[in-house]
């Protein structure tokens, strides 16, 4: 199976240079993970474009209170500098001006919504401080990117049970689930049958080296069945294994040509079009 000629990467990380340095150091010291692509944001964009990625959807997150506004000022600047670049912006509910900032940031046409990295930010997806932001995002036709799975590591704030509590309150929330919901792949796949506004992205889940020991394990039939609700994402550049490894694993499933067209390009293109149209 050949890789489709048109690709949208729906899960890239871009940060200011000093924040990248701090993240890579934390990965190395805290997790013993050595990132192999230590590229700053301009290098990341060029690297992916040179390898056939037509549009890039990136995210960053506020790991503590008080930094989301500055980070989003940077986001708006690089979005204006780079065509075919879109963003899930930073948000922290502990900031006193969080909602005012959210209103301003969501007005940018290339901001698709917000990223919540619950493992790092250490609050629950059903934290009531988030509810007004969720309502604002939904009113504007945008989305939330959640890191809410238990992989590669977990804590009390992540997991399928915590995300179900949010769905009980907001069943229509427009959400992308990073990493296919790792490691609770089956449970998150089953949510797609119930909640029509959910998507999963492939990042982290298909490394050849992880298959059988933490990689995606819900079967090829489920992938084919839900081909219209899966988005290709690479996790670039914060990878400890080659980017191509996941692509090769996905191609190795030998699913329908429509699966690859939808996952690598069409689903992402349709989502971007639906979000960026005037509301």
- If you write DSSP's letter for every residue of 195-212 in order, what string do you get? -TTEEEE-TTTT-GGGTT
> What's the pLDDT at 279?
43
Question: In the prediction, which pLDDT does 27 show?
Answer: 95
Note whether 179 and 149 are within 8 A (CB). Answer: yes
Within 13 Å, how many C-alpha atoms sit on residue 177's CB side?
35
Q: What is the CATH number of domain 7-276?
A: 3.20.20.140
Could you state, in order of their start, the residue ranges of all structural domains in the chain?
7-276
User: Residue 46 has what pLDDT?
Assistant: 98
In sequence order, the 6+-apart residues with CB closer than 8 A to the CB of 207 are 215, 241, 245, 246, 249
Residue among 42, 53, 17, 47 nearest 264 (CA) = 53
Q: For the chain, which residues score pLDDT lower than 70? A: 278-279
d(CA 128, CA 144): 15
The pLDDT of residue 278:
57
Q: Tell me the per-residue pLDDT of 7-41, one tens digit each, with 9 for 90 and over.
A: 999 999 999 999 999 999 999 998 899 999 999 99
């Amino acid at each position: 199976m050949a890789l489709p000629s048109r690709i949208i990467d729906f899960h890239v990380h871009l940060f200011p240079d000093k924040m990248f340095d701090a993240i890579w150091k934390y990965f190395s010291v805290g997790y013993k993970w050595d990132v192999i692509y230590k590229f700053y944001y301009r290098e990341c964009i060029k690297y992916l474009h040179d390898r056939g990625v037509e549009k890039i959807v990136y995210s960053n997150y506020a790991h503590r209170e008080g930094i989301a506004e500055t980070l989003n000022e940077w986001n708006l600047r690089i979005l204006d500098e780079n065509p075919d670049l879109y963003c899930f912006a930073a948000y922290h509910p502990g900031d006193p001006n969080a909602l005012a900032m959210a209103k301003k940031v969501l007005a940018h046409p290339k901001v698709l919504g917000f990223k919540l990295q619950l493992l790092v930010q250490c609050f629950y997806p059903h934290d009531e401080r988030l509810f007004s932001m969720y309502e604002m995002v939904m009113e504007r036709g945008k989305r939330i990117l959640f890191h809410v799975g238990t992989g590669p590591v977990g804590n009390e704030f992540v997991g399928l049970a915590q995300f179900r509590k949010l769905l009980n309150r907001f069943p229509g929330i427009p959400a992308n689930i990073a990493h296919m919901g790792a490691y609770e792949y089956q449970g998150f796949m089953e949510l797609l049958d119930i909640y029509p506004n959910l998507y999963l992205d492939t990042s982290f889940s298909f490394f050849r080296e992880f298959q059988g020991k933490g990689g995606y394990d819900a079967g090829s039939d489920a992938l084919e069945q839900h081909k219209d609700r899966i988005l290709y994402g690479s996790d670039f550049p914060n990878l400890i294994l080659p980017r191509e490894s996941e692509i090769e694993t996905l191609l190795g499933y030998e699913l329908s040509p429509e699966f690859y067209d939808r996952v690598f390009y069409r689903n992402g293109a349709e989502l971007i079009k639906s979000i960026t149209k005037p509301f």
